[in-house]
């Protein structure tokens, strides 16, 4: 069975880029264009991994979604990779090692998305097939 990855990002082009890359590696990709829809899909479809954009409608919508996911019984254990270009927008410099205590995500991936790094990160948490 294919592993399913949920991409939550409001940039439809970026979603397609990620889909192209990950489907080429044998993953299944579903997507949501906003946080609310993303949470719904996460609960219904129980994806194996979530790629989450940090900044959708609101500046920290991604973080809010991550907190919600961590609160839900069905979604708590799904690994989350946060997509971020936030460092240069708000002055926040995230470092998952230093900030993991209060930031409920497993990895960060800086935009522009490098396909190799995306695949490496996803593989680290999720081998392509069972």
If residue 5 lies in a helix (H) or strand (E), which one and from where to where?
Answer: strand 4-8
Binding to other proteins in span 95-124, by CB under 8 A: 111-116, 119
Single residue of 92, 124, 127, 128 touching other proteins by CB under 8 A: 92
86 by DSSP, 3-state: which? coil
71 vs 85 by CB, closer to other proteins:
85
User: Min. distance of Cβ 120 from other proteins in angstroms?
Assistant: 12
DSSP 73-105: TTTTTS-EEEEE-THHHHS----HHHHTTT---
How many other CB atoms are found less than 10 A from the CB of residue 58?
Answer: 10
Tell me how long the chain is.
Answer: 130
Q: Which stretch binds other proteins (CB under 8 A): 45-53, 64-72, 73-81, 82-90?
A: 82-90
- Residues making contact with other proteins (CB under 8 A): 11, 13-14, 17-18, 20-21, 24, 85, 87-93, 111-116, 119
């Amino acid at each position: 069975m294919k592993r399913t990855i949920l991409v939550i990002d409001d940039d439809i082009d970026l979603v397609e880029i990620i889909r192209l890359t990950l489907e080429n590696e044998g993953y299944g990709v579903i997507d949501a264009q906003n946080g609310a829809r993303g949470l719904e899909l996460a609960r219904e479809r129980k994806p194996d991994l979530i790629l989450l954009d940090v900044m959708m409608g609101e500046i920290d919508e991604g973080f809010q979604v991550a907190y919600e996911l961590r609160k839900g019984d069905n979604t708590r254990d799904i690994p989350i990779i946060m997509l971020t270009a936030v460092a240069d927008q708000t002055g926040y410099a995230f470092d998952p090692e230093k900030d993991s205590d209060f930031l409920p995500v497993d990895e960060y991936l800086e935009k522009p998305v490098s396909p190799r790094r995306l695949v490496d990160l996803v593989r680290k948490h999720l081998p392509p097939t069972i």
